[in-house]
Amino acid sequence: MNLLEIKNYSMSFRCESGIYTTLNNINLNIPQQSMVSLVGESGCGKSMTAMSILKLLPKNAIIDSGEIIFHNQNILELSNSEIRSIRGNKISLIPQDPMTSLNPLYTIGNQLLEVINKDKSISKEDAIKKAIEVLEIVKIPKAKEKLNAYPHEFSGGMKQRAIIAMALATNAELIIADEPTTALDVTIQAQIMNILNEIKENLGTSILLISHELNLVGQYSDEINVMYSGRIVEKAPSKTIFENPLHPYTIALLNALPANNHGKELKTINGQPPNIQEVISGCRFNPRCEKMIDKICNVKSPALKEVEPNHLVECYLYEI
């Protein structure tokens, strides 16, 4: 069963010079108790996908089409008060810049209790119990004592755990983790990923994991969606993405990973993803693509096609 379904969703931004498509026909299913990833370089539309689910888009965003279904409701059609009862409750965000999302003036305990006490029926004792419990889930040592700590007393990794604990304190069915480990070093990244995986396994929570690093999401994701310039260009189970990547962009991302270069120099991808205002004829990856077929790829956009069961790719190489 799917907990959340994004169907044919497109979104644009109104800018001074015009209106620009930012997300183009996104389809994404997040099954119950799953970890689904969105991967792509910066600017590809990952955060805007997340913000669409939370209905927290910037003011100049225009929703062009599609639906985001959660519990039989289209989130896009909910009123502000209806979405507020879902956001930070059934759907929680671990934001891209977590270091600013703890309030330096309040203890960790106070901030957790503020979230937990949104549930008016919970007793004071149970609320404290729950605050300790969520800190224990994210493996903060001496959880009870740490309730009285202030954020500045925590290291970067501990702060991030505390933020995940805040997301857990809400009873979220879906946690959206937007680049949850970007500012952290590699060992701590792995620990945070382990914690997210345990949350999925033990609590049954679904996780939408957003990252620009394929190697980070590989181990635990059930499905990987590779995004490029506002489109999902490849979608497959994690194992398939690593064993049989098809889209030249996915292949380029994999070749840029240290583990895959077998001691050779890292092969970074030439150039940058286009910004939304850039006009590109045909496939938006074609100017950077090593496999570009002239008069095809630079003429018309390819469509996302299922090339083998559960493996979708948007590329002419697999159409002709």
Ligand X SMILES: Nc1ncnc2c1ncn2[C@@H]1O[C@H](COP(=O)(O)OP(=O)(O)O)[C@@H](O)[C@H]1O
Smallest distance from ligand X to CB 173, Å = 23
DSSP assignments along 148-179, one per residue: T--GGGS-HHHHHHHHHHHHHHTT-SEEEEES
Smallest distance from ligand X to CB 30, Å = 17
Task: Return d(Cα 234, Cα 232) in angstroms, integer.
Answer: 6
Residue 58 interacts with which of ligand X, Mg ion, none, CB < 5 to 8 Å by class: ligand X
Q: Which amino acid is at 185?
A: D
In the set 244, 270, 275, 310, which binds ligand X (CB under 6 A)? 275
Residue 281 interacts with which of ligand X, Mg ion, none, CB < 5 to 8 Å by class: none
Task: Return d(Cα 258, Cα 203) in angstroms, integer.
Answer: 33
Phi, psi dihedral angles at 158 (to 5 degrees): -70, -40
Residue 218 interacts with which of Mg ion, ligand X, none, CB < 5 to 8 Å by class: none
280 scored as a contact of ligand X (CB under 6 A):
no
Q: Applying CB under 6 A, what is the total number of residues that bind ligand X?
A: 15
266 scored as a contact of ligand X (CB under 6 A):
no
Smallest distance from ligand X to CB 300, Å = 22
Q: Applying CB under 5 A, what is the total number of residues that bind Mg ion?
A: 2
Residue with smaller CB distance to ligand X, 19 or 149: 19
Task: Return d(Cα 157, Cα 190) in angstroms, integer.
Answer: 11
Q: Are the C-beta atoms of 140 and 188 separated by less than 8 Å?
A: no
Task: Return d(Cα 111, Cα 98) in angstroms, integer.
Answer: 14
Smallest distance from ligand X to CB 99, Å = 17
H or E stretch including 260?
none
Residue with smaller CB distance to Mg ion, 47 or 189: 47
Direct distance between the N- and C-terminal alpha carbons of the chain, in angstroms, rounded to an integer: 34
Burial label for 275, CB within 10 Å (0-12, 13-18, 19+), is exposed
303 scored as a contact of ligand X (CB under 6 A):
no
Only segment of 44-52, 122-130, 133-141, 184-192 that touches ligand X (CB under 6 A): 44-52
Site string for Mg ion, 36-55 (x = CB under 5 A): ----------xx--------
248 scored as a contact of ligand X (CB under 6 A):
no
Task: Return d(Cα 253, Cα 310) in angstroms, integer.
Answer: 20
Q: Which residue has the closest beta carbon to Mg ion?
A: 47
Residue 10 CA: distances (Å) to CA of 66, 138, 208, 275: 6, 35, 19, 16
Task: Return d(Cα 278, Cα 54) in angstroms, integer.
Answer: 27
Only segment of 4-12, 38-46, 155-163, 198-206 that touches ligand X (CB under 6 A): 38-46
60 scored as a contact of ligand X (CB under 6 A):
yes
Q: Which residue has the closest beta carbon to ligand X?
A: 47
Smallest distance from ligand X to CB 48, Å = 3
In the set 15, 186, 299, 303, which binds ligand X (CB under 6 A)? 15
228 scored as a contact of ligand X (CB under 6 A):
no
Residue with smaller CB distance to ligand X, 139 or 287: 287
47 scored as a contact of ligand X (CB under 6 A):
yes
Task: Return d(Cα 87, Cα 215) in angstroms, integer.
Answer: 29
Only segment of 45-53, 128-136, 137-145, 192-200 that touches ligand X (CB under 6 A): 45-53
For the CA atoms of 171, 44, 42, 249, what is the dihedral angle to 10 degrees? 110
For the CA atoms of 164, 77, 51, 225, what is the dihedral angle to 10 degrees? 90
The residues that touch ligand X, with contacts defined as CB under 6 A, are 13, 15, 22, 40, 42-48, 58, 60, 275-276
